[in-house]
Structure 1
Amino acid sequence: MMRAIFMGETLVFTGSKFEIERVLEAVDKYKPDYMPVSPSEIQQLWRSELTEKYDLSSLKFIQCSGAPLGTDVADKFRAKFPNVKLAIRYGLTETTGAVANMRSPEELERVGSVGRLVEFMEAKIVDLLTAESLSSGHQGELWLRGPSIMRGYVGDDKATAEILDSEGWLKTGDLCYFDSQGFLFIVDRLKEVIKYKNIKIAPAELEHLLVSNHEIDDDVVVPYPDEEAGEIPMTFIVRNPESNITATQVMDFIAT
């Protein structure tokens, strides 16, 4: 809404819930060139046959945020809509806006990343045990510092102290890494990482793999207690309405 106001744009509301046909009707009728979406909405757009029914030629730019977007889903979206630029954005409520964004052609082509840091924002990847800074290519917790970082949680000093250190670094709770060219990659939320024996498993990685199967519309991966391994990944899936895929077939798909 703020973007529309300060850039003098027309803003089209389609309701509080993403209903694909209503959204497609709005694009056909009002001819917007930009649309913000979530990863699950990207998934619906590349899968739906309804997209053939409406004129979507006005769309030039799609901005995706809210959760990690799987590379496979992004590739399929780009293949279906070759004239639409797909940009990924990363930010938190505590940063009051975007932290990393895709804007340049080079950033838009870096599949799997969320682009580079926005202006005036500092970042570092720290070791999960020692909090020491890690070099590019190494996964750890992302810490951020900059003028848009919140001052704290109102009336909750304890929660503020847990997320903000004395030097103003915000601990995001996200498992991330930077590559050698400064592109940021989000792996998963740290609190959601599954600890299988001594191996850390990112649920998002498995979720992205699952939805690449045309018989699966949506899924979530969670930890399940296991006496020997500590935790094992368990998934809940939403089948495609026309699918009868079984649990064994899902496990066989992942195994390959």
Structure 2
Amino acid sequence: MVLPMFHIYGATGTIFCLIQGIKIIIESRFDMVSMLQKIEKYKVTSFSAVPPILVAMDKMPLADHFDLSSLGEVGCGAAPLPDGVAESVAKKYNFTIGQGWGLTEAVPATSTFTPNFPTKSVGIVVPNTLLKVIHPETGKELGVNEDGELCLKGPQVMKGYYKNQKATDNCIDREGWLHTGDIGHYDDRGFVYVIDRIKELIKYKGFQVAPAELEELLLRHPMVGDVGVIGVPDSEAGEVPKAYVVKKDEALTEQAIHDFLKDKVSKYKYIRGGITFIDAIPKTVSGKILRKDLREMDKQRRTTESKM
């Protein structure tokens, strides 16, 4: 158990093991070397991860020095896992990776992986739970493979926010649907896909750009160690995507990144806001990118430049 237990993901994961009498090896804080040592020493068969852990395992050669053959299954949640990472890590270390989707307000499981599920999917909706996808602006219900806001109804959905009726009303509608704020869709087999958060979407000339999609693509570049994408103000387009990138190789250039994306995305998704190289991407303890910190960083930079 490397996840913080005050987070719903770590808390329910721990309870799940206790109920079944499963032995848990607990880490006081996450450290890659320590985690790999524990897996080897105690012959750990499973652990719950967040995307940055699996991305690191995929990119760093360190894991090759440890015996991870006991691992059979690794769960991943809290944020979308970049496309291709699951397949690469599973092949490299020979264990199964399953993504799930949930949130604190739905305590916490809403979908989970099943055998032979698409690795980019977060699985199928859990029992006794309903899911629908709606247009985030009109509220119209959407169909198969149409991206919109994911809404839930089920016995695990909270009654509301404690002593905050206004926040509750903004989240749970009159019919009892929990509006998750997540953007995604379901396919013709019922598998659910989560793409990004509504509030994170970048609006470029009316087009919606999901930061997670660009981050997912950029992480495929062999010289990119980590990346965070935000929207920055633009007088003509409203907003344009900007990338903060951690170099894995010092030879990486801005032009190389632009060239890498050129044939992989539509023109409105180009990183017109520029690229800034930094030492680390700010993240929560659960592995989610702190885009507000990146936005504040960018705001301060623009303020400084305007004074020069």
Instruction: Answer whether TM exceeds 0.5 for this pair.
Output: yes
Paired residue type of 2:87: D
Separation in structure 2 between the aligned mates of residue 226 and residue 212 of structure 1, nearest angstrom: 28
How much is the aligned-residue C-alpha RMSD, in angstroms? 1.1
* Counterpart selection for 2:208 from 200, 205, 222: 200
- Aligned partner of 1:65 in structure 2 is 77
Give the aligned residue type for 2:69: S
Q: Alignment partner for residue 252 of structure 1, among 241, 259, 278? A: 259
Matched residue, 2:17: 4
TM-aligned CA deviation for residue 98 of structure 1: 1.1
What CA deviation, in whole Å up to 9, does each residue of 1:82-137 have, x standing for no partner?
Answer: x301100100010011101003x222xx1311110001111100122221211111
User: Counterparts of 1:106 and 1:254 in 2: how far apart (Å)?
Assistant: 31
Alpha-carbon distance in 1 for matches of 2:261, 2:27: 36
Per the TM alignment, residue 79 of structure 1 is displaced from its structure 2 partner at its CA by 2.3
The answer on whether the counterparts of 2:145 and 2:187 sit within 8 Å (CA) in structure 1 is: yes
Contact residue 62 and residue 86 of structure 1 kept, 8 A:
yes
Which residue number in structure 2 is paired with residue 106 of structure 1? 116
- The partner residue of 1:170 within 163, 178, 185 is 178
Maintained 8 Å contact 2:111/2:122: yes
Deviation at 1:243, TM superposition (A): 2.6
Partner SS, residue 52 of structure 1: helix
State which drifts further: 243-252 or 198-207: 243-252
Aligned to 2:98: 87
> 1:34 deviation in Å?
0.5
Q: Is the Cα–Cα contact under 8 Å of residues 73 and 208 in structure 1 kept in the other structure?
A: no
1:198-228, CA deviations, whole angstroms, 9 ceiling, x for partnerless residues?
2111100000111111211111000011111
Point out 4+ residue stretches in structure 1 off by more than 3 angstroms. Answer: none
| Pairs within 5 Å for 1:31-50 | 31-50=43-62
Cα separation, 2, equivalents of 1:48 and 1:23: 14
Partner of residue 219 from structure 1, selected from 223, 227, 230: 227
Verify: 1:29 aligned to 2:45, yes or no: no
- Given that 1:89 and 1:115 are in contact with CA atoms closer than 8 Å, whether structure 2 keeps it comes out as yes
Q: Secondary structure at the match of 2:109?
A: strand
* 1:55 aligned residue (30, 52, 67): 67
Please say if 1:96 is aligned against 2:104.
Answer: no
Within 2, Cα distance between the matches of 1:46 and 1:73? Answer: 7
Report which of the two has the higher share of strand: 1
User: Is residue 27–residue 56 contact of structure 1 (8 Å, CA) maintained in 2?
Assistant: yes
Counterpart of 1:127 in structure 2 is 135
State the alpha-carbon separation in 2 of the partners of residues 56 and 79 from structure 1.
Answer: 13
Task: Find the counterpart in structure 2 of residue 15 from structure 1.
Answer: 28
User: Structure 2 length normalisation: TM-score?
Assistant: 0.79
Q: Extract unaligned runs of 5+ from structure 1.
A: none
Q: Counterpart of 1:71 in 2: which secondary structure?
A: coil
Establish whether residue 234 from structure 1 lines up as the match of residue 234 from structure 2: no
Is the partner of 2:245 in helix, strand or coil? strand
Q: Quote how far apart the aligned CAs of 1:244 are.
A: 2.8
Q: Distance in 1 between matches of 2:120 and 2:89?
A: 13
Q: Partners in 2 of 1:15 and 1:253 — Cα distance?
A: 39
CA displacement at 1:63 relative to structure 2: 0.1
Q: How many residues align?
A: 250
For the residue of structure 1 that corresponds to 2:84, the secondary structure is helix
Q: What amino acid sits opposite 2:99 in the alignment?
A: I
